[in-house]
Structure 1
Amino acid sequence: MAQGSAPDRHASLINAARGGAKGALDALVAELTPLVWHVARGNGLDRATTEDVVQTVWLSLLRHLDRLVEPRAVAGWLIVATRREAQRAWREANGKAALSDDSALDVPETRWLPESEALRNDRDRRLWQAFATLPRRCQELLRLTVLAGRAEYRVVAETLAMPRGSIGPTRGRCLATLRATLEEEGDLR
């Protein structure tokens, strides 16, 4: 995998995939699928619909791979495409689905221990319950900034239609609210 910043690495993978490198697209999918997943789930989709949206978005990128003007901005392209596809899927479902409290991505561990799994599930459940109490704007901002990172603040600003300079302070306030909610519940560990 290419070294450097995430946008540079993504551009290298896009260019390699365009050149026919077999593993380049797989590496891109492995790295950015959690982002696509979180954006879709953040739009209130259930697990099955989210899986469909994620697949549709990746197929769309594959179809548009040669037309992607700025390969460094593939994460932003994926965020926008996922948001649009999620909104389309939501409209088709013709109802407002609740934000799920399960984890966004189930990654199997090499060692499974029931105690640690139960503790992690309980912690995750409490965290997602507290997360669900945040305003939708905070939920969306935290989902995007946690996965996209500081290098993608420009994309986050465009996606959420907010000034780039307000992302960090707003994120800090959202995290403080989340922390306070968890502390009130006695769930912060």
Structure 2
Amino acid sequence: MTDAARGGALSDGPARWERAAELFADWRSGDARAIDDLVRLMTPVLWHVVRAYGLDRPLAEDVVQTTWLALVRGHEKISDFRSISGWLTTAARREAWKVVKRERRADATDDVVLEPMLPVQESAETTVTASDEARLLWKAVAALDERCRRLLRVIAFDDRPDYATLAAELDMPVGSIGPTRGRCLVKLRARLTHADGVDERGNDG
């Protein structure tokens, strides 16, 4: 990314969400360049969200493109600019889930699963994993059990997760998502601490 001042690389979390809100507000105010910066900022995030559903590269690209088209068509319905990151990730997740169900119906062997996978080729998501910290994080996520991997990769970039939708997608009771996420985060923190060479026994178990 060459325009760091407007939409350049940012670490994931509040800084990214705040920058996305600023760019969305600028675009709605008539700054045509802002939408391009918003796309550069949020596409790597959407890519991770979509790939968490096990879609191959062409299908994932279609889902991300459809998500941006949905924003262009429905942006006037978004009154709270601060919710743009959540709106985009939710739209991407729902579109990915629709594609997964469609592919399952088309495939008699029903081989499509929600198994998240780490990218093995250089692509848009390398923007998100460029830093050593990010690579360490996703390596730790990959070492977790299947349920934790699925849950964390689906909700990792959503600051306001829709638990009802997640429950249906992950085949989990709504009430168990929060506690399960908490336990998975404890496991993830322990792995990250050990990776840094610190013994955490006695703290998180």
Shorter-chain TM band? 0.5 to 0.7
Equivalent residue in structure 2 for 1:54, among 64, 80, 93: 64
Match in the other structure for 2:184:
170
CA distance in 1, matches of 2:125, 2:119: 15
Contact residue 144 and residue 188 of structure 2 kept, 8 A: no
* Percent of residue pairs identical: 30
1:138-153 equivalent positions in 2, closer than 5 A: 138-142=149-153, 144-145=155-156, 147=157, 152=159
Q: Structure 2: which 5+ runs fail to align?
A: 1-5, 8-13, 105-109, 127-134, 167-173, 195-205
Task: Give a deviation string over 1:147-187, Cα, whole Å, max 9, x none.
Answer: 56xxx3xx147575544x9856632313546888xxxxxxx
CA distance in 2, matches of 1:178, 1:45: 27
Match in the other structure for 2:49:
39
CA 105–86 in structure 1, closer or farther in 2 if over 3 Å, else same: farther
Note the C-alpha offset of 1:19: 2.0
The yes-or-no answer on 1:75 pairing with 2:89 is: no
Equivalent residue in structure 2 for 1:28, among 30, 38, 44: 38
Q: Is the partner of 1:102 in helix, strand or coil?
A: coil
With the length of structure 1 as denominator, give the TM-score of the two structures: 0.65
The yes-or-no answer on 1:102 pairing with 2:119 is: yes
Match in the other structure for 1:136:
147
Q: Select between 58-67 and 166-175 the one with higher mean Cα deviation.
A: 166-175
Contact residue 134 and residue 178 of structure 1 kept, 8 A: no
> Aligned partner of 1:171: which letter?
L
> Aligned partner of 2:42: which letter?
L
CA 82–104 in structure 1, closer or farther in 2 if over 3 Å, else same: farther
More helix by share: 1
The yes-or-no answer on 1:65 pairing with 2:75 is: yes
Q: Is the partner of 2:20 in helix, strand or coil?
A: helix
With the length of structure 2 as denominator, give the TM-score of the two structures: 0.61
CA distance in 2, matches of 1:87, 1:25: 25
